[in-house]
């Protein structure tokens, strides 16, 4: 099977492309490199095949996506292409909506025109906002607390409507906080500008690229006062996308369109570990892995952040046969290996 991976040069997309290739799929990567680089494509090719097809294009460009589908015989899509910074979305909500929703509209239209029906969508636990109860299940209320989360809600609604109209079979993967890197140390997270997320920032501090990590708030109603998240290894996450594609490819319509989950052709699935770790716990674990404390200071809370969230991953186990297997120390050790080998990102090779 040929699978189109939009945003496939990005952090999660590139790791997923490797896992799909290793599973025997013909992978086609499409990315406009707005938050990735040619060096990331080269690293991806080194881990897969030297001639892995790469198309530099905007996923919102219906004609470009359509050509990729036709030229490479694509019959399934994994759609990652999107901006992903919470703080960035607060600064530019309109730009985030135009990019994230626009790319999804473009991909769906290209699929419709070319007879492709199976899509796995990169969603996020941000669609839940500040949860009213924990752990979060797929039936938890949708209440995005920032514009980034709102774009994911809008894309989910669009895909659900397309599925209801009979045009798509969709799995919406709502994943929690991806960290880590490929075990080789050759593929990892290389955010442009100042990292918005905890682990890439603290790793840049640890390698000497930045002076100190800001811990946003120590006055939350949590055991140590810092915010709690469900951290998941990026390779576990990538394997979840493979499992989702296998379900879509192997299930008949009656299986996919199971009314017991309240959807017709479109199902949401949490990908998380089911365990929450606080910011200070992650800092302590990183210190163990690195061998020294990571310089940090506590500052005020950050707009758009929530207090605590972690997943109930039981549906992923039941529907996809998937479970996260890598623990926090392994996530951080793999991320640190990548950062040590690439202290300035892919630019250092």
Phi and psi at 47, nearest 5°, equal -95, -10
Concerning whether 231 is annotated as a catalytic residue, the answer is no
200 with 207: CB under 8 angstroms?
Answer: no
- Judge contact between 77 and 118, C-beta under 8 A: yes
How far is the C-alpha of 57 from the C-alpha of 69, rounded, in Å?
A: 13
Contact between 123 and 152 (Cβ < 8 Å): yes
Torsion angles phi and psi, residue 43, rounded to 5: -65, -40
The DSSP annotation for 272-283 comes to S-S--EEHHHHH
What is the Cα–Cα distance from 169 to 250, expressed in whole angstroms?
Answer: 12
In sequence order, the 6+-apart residues with CB closer than 8 A to the CB of 284 are: none
Q: Which of 148, 175, 201, 220 is catalytic?
A: 148
> Which residue's entry shows tokens 């919102």?
60
Q: Burial, 23: exposed, middle or buried (Cβ in 10 Å; 0-12, 13-18, 19+)? A: middle
161 neighbors 105 (Cβ within 8 angstroms): no
Tell me which residue of 286, 283, 269 sits closest to 332, measured CA to CA. Answer: 286
Q: What is the 3-state secondary structure (H, E, C) of 116-153?
A: CCEEEEEEEHHHHCCCCCCCECCCCCCCCCCHHHHHHH
Across the beta sheet with 2-6, the strand order is 54-56, 26-31, 2-6, 74-79, 118-124, 169-175, 266-271
To 10 degrees, the CA torsion angle through 72, 156, 187, 241?
-70
Among all residues, which ones are annotated catalytic? 148
């Amino acid at each position: 099977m040929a699978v189109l991976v939009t945003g496939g040069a990005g952090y999660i997309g590139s790791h997923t492309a490797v896992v799909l290739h290793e599973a025997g799929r013909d992978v086609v990567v499409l990315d406009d490199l707005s938050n990735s680089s040619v060096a990331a494509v080269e690293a991806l090719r080194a881990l897969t095949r030297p001639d892995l097809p790469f198309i530099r294009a905007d996923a919102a460009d219906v004609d470009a996506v359509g050509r990729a589908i036709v030229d490479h015989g694509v019959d399934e899509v994994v759609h990652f292409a999107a901006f992903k910074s919470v703080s960035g979305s607060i600064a530019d909500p309109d730009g985030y909506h135009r990019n994230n929703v626009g790319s999804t509209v473009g991909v769906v239209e290209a699929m419709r025109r070319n007879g492709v029906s199976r899509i796995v969508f990169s969603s996020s636990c941000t669609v839940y906002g500040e949860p009213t109860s924990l752990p979060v299940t797929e039936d938890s209320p949708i209440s995005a607390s920032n514009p980034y989360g709102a774009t994911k809600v809008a894309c989910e609604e669009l895909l659900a409507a397309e599925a209801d109209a009979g045009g798509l079979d969709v799995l919406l993967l709502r994943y929690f906080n991806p960290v880590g890197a490929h075990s080789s140390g050759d593929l990892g997270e290389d955010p442009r500008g100042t990292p918005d997320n905890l682990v890439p920032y603290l790793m840049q501090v640890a390698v000497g690229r930045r002076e100190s990590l800001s811990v946003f708030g120590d006055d939350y109603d949590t055991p140590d006062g810092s915010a709690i998240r469900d951290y998941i290894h990026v390779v576990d996450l990538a394997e979840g996308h493979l499992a989702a594609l296998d379900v879509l490819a192997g299930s008949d319509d009656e299986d996919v369109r199971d009314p017991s989950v309240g959807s017709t052709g479109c199902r949401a699935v949490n990908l998380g570990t089911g365990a929450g770790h606080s910011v200070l716990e992650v800092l302590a674990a990183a210190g163990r892995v690195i061998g020294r404390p990571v310089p940090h200071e506590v500052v005020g809370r950050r707009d758009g952040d929530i207090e605590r969230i972690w997943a109930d991953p039981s549906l992923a186990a039941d529907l996809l046969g998937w479970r996260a297997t890598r623990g926090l120390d392994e996530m951080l050790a793999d991320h640190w290996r990548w950062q040590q080998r690439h202290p300035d990102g892919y630019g250092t090779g």
